[in-house]
Amino acid sequence: MNNIPYKIYLDEAELPKQWYNLRADMKNKPAPLLDPATLQPMTAQALSGVFCEELVKQELDDTTPYIDIPQEIQDYYKTFRPAPLMRAYNLEKALGTPANIYYKFEGNNTSGSHKLNSAIAQAYYAKQQGLKGVTTETGAGQWGTALSMACAYLGLDCKVYMVKVSYEQKPFRREVMRTYGASVVPSPSMDTAVGRKILQEHPGTGGSLGCAISEAVEVATSTPGYRYVLGSVLNQVLLHQSVIGLEAKTALDKYGIKADIVIGCAGGGSNLGGLIAPFVGEKLRGEADYRIIAVEPASCPSFTRGKFVYDFCDTGMICPLAKMYTLGSGFIPAPNHAGGLRFHGMSTTLSQLYHDGLMEATSVEQTAVFAAAEQFARIEGILPAPESSHAIKAAIDEALHCKETGEEKTILFGLTGTGYFDMYAYEAFHDGRMHDYIPTDEDLAPGFASLPKV
């Protein structure tokens, strides 16, 4: 197998022309979103006040297996895709493992992550609908950057509510978004009723993702010609992100490689759901078997310690209820947690798959994640994002297990992005100021107490 290159790039003609809608092959469909007021399933009409019409259709469609990627989106994909499938020869050698390690690297674009795959799709449908612009929130800034890039390309207005503490601590991310013409507002702001209320109650607050979501939704629903877009959790996002898995699968198939284990980091599920889609599809259709492993931070363990129940997607409790593995919308991860994997819940699709035993989940601690990140950077060259490094840590552990057992397994993991804008976290790690945090059952109790009675 010496003819496998370090990097497999598909030809333009081999790029996916359709997204794969995993839900179509699921026997047990993810539970529908519920209207928090009526506890009835959200209708297309109700959702279309918040989201673009075509995206609402995609959100609710759990029967169509393949959905055409519009030509204009395909063309934009060509500017930064294919993403390379990398063979980690150097890492294998350094670990002394018989395992073959591959990673799908999504960081070779200015957003620095896979987020651009869905951002361009959502912006495209907004433009098709004749809208003037979109609103969103961003925490660490990857999603906001991706959306800014997509909107700049299509000539759409883009308004990003950025968690105030990130806005102040991550001025570079903010400037990248400004370069792409987005208006970036620190949240909470005086722009919205919800922002003004929070500022009145907590004048010095650094904001939260939940509050930023609420502001972005309020502006989208109260401004003619605007809709709200979201970078993770939703079914539509997983649909768009299926390009990750489809490309990876095509590249592996091209070289006759069969993965044994597929590993992805899990926050809201956008990367994991996209990466594993075609592999889980084969499992669901009984065509092949794979071990699928979700890796989450020990500090925010939705899969491994959460409950599979209906919960709010936002801390403001204004969004629909979703049935998912959740720690409760009142759960707040420890402030020292550096990665972007801090969502209290999880994609409904992935939650159902996990509940049905189609995938495993594991949690890893922060300093071990950064140690793996640094090891990986020195050996493989790429400086990984903290989020991606959760998958690296799990992949290294599996490879070392193969070393013990002598098994020549093929491991594929998702390297979602680069850590160029996360150097504060790396600095804390280098200076010994980074600490692990595993919530006790008592720490988790307030989150669970916040769960709605459905």
Would you tell me which residues interact with its own copies (CB under 8 A)? Answer: 5-7, 9, 11-12, 75, 78-80, 86, 90, 108-110, 112, 149, 152-153, 171-172, 175-176, 178-181, 374, 377-383, 418, 420-421, 423-424, 426-427, 430
Q: Which amino acid is at 167?
A: Y
What is the nearest approach in angstroms of its own copies to the Cβ of residue 80?
6
Q: 24: part of which helix (H) or strand (E)?
A: none
What is the nearest approach in angstroms of its own copies to the Cβ of residue 336?
17
- For residue 184 the two structure tokens come to 């970036």
What is the nearest approach in angstroms of its own copies to the Cβ of residue 373?
8
- For residue 423 the two structure tokens come to 């150097």
Task: Show the DSSP H helices in 8-88 as ranges.
Answer: 44-47, 53-60, 71-80
Query: In whole angstroms, how far apart are CA 186 and each of 170, 183, 190, 330?
Result: 11, 10, 10, 22
What is the nearest approach in angstroms of its own copies to the Cβ of residue 111?
9
Task: Show the DSSP H helices in 63-192 as ranges.
Answer: 71-80, 89-95, 116-128, 142-154, 164-169, 171-179
**What is the rounded distance in angstroms from the CA atom of residue 60 to the CA atom of residue 281?**
19
What is the nearest approach in angstroms of its own copies to the Cβ of residue 187?
20
What is the nearest approach in angstroms of its own copies to the Cβ of residue 432?
13
By beta-carbon proximity to its own copies, the closer residue of 228 and 421 is 421
What is the nearest approach in angstroms of its own copies to the Cβ of residue 377?
6
Bridge partners (DSSP) of residue 252 are: none
By beta-carbon proximity to its own copies, the closer residue of 321 and 425 is 425
What is the nearest approach in angstroms of its own copies to the Cβ of residue 99?
18
In degrees, rounded to 5, the angle at the alpha carbon of residue 418 between the alpha carbons of residues 330 and 181 is 80
By beta-carbon proximity to its own copies, the closer residue of 256 and 381 is 381
What is the nearest approach in angstroms of its own copies to the Cβ of residue 247?
14
**What is the rounded distance in angstroms from the CA atom of residue 162 to the CA atom of residue 174?**
8
- For residue 198 the two structure tokens come to 């929070």
Q: Which amino acid is at 409?
A: K
Q: Which of these, 194, 184, 142, lies nearest to 161 by C-alpha position?
A: 184
What is the nearest approach in angstroms of its own copies to the Cβ of residue 81?
9
Q: Is there a cis peptide before residue 320, judged by omega within 30 degrees of 0?
A: no
Q: What phi-psi label fits residue 372: left (phi over 0), alpha (psi between -120 and 50 degrees) or beta?
A: alpha
**What is the rounded distance in angstroms from the CA atom of residue 152 to the CA atom of residue 60?**
28
Q: Which residues contact 413 (CB under 8 A, 6 or more apart)?
A: 101, 102, 103, 104, 262, 263, 264, 391, 392, 394, 395
What is the nearest approach in angstroms of its own copies to the Cβ of residue 175?
4
By beta-carbon proximity to its own copies, the closer residue of 80 and 437 is 80
Q: Do residues 363 and 383 make contact, with C-beta atoms less than 8 angstroms apart? A: no
Q: Which amino acid is at 29?
A: K
What is the nearest approach in angstroms of its own copies to the Cβ of residue 96?
16
By beta-carbon proximity to its own copies, the closer residue of 378 and 435 is 378
Residue 89 CB coordination number (10 Å): 15
Three-state SS for 160?
Answer: strand
Q: Which of these, 318, 262, 243, 192, lies nearest to 78 by C-alpha position?
A: 243
Q: Which amino acid is at 206?
A: G
Strand 226-228 with 183-187, pairing: unpaired
Q: Which residue has tokens 């519920």? A: 34
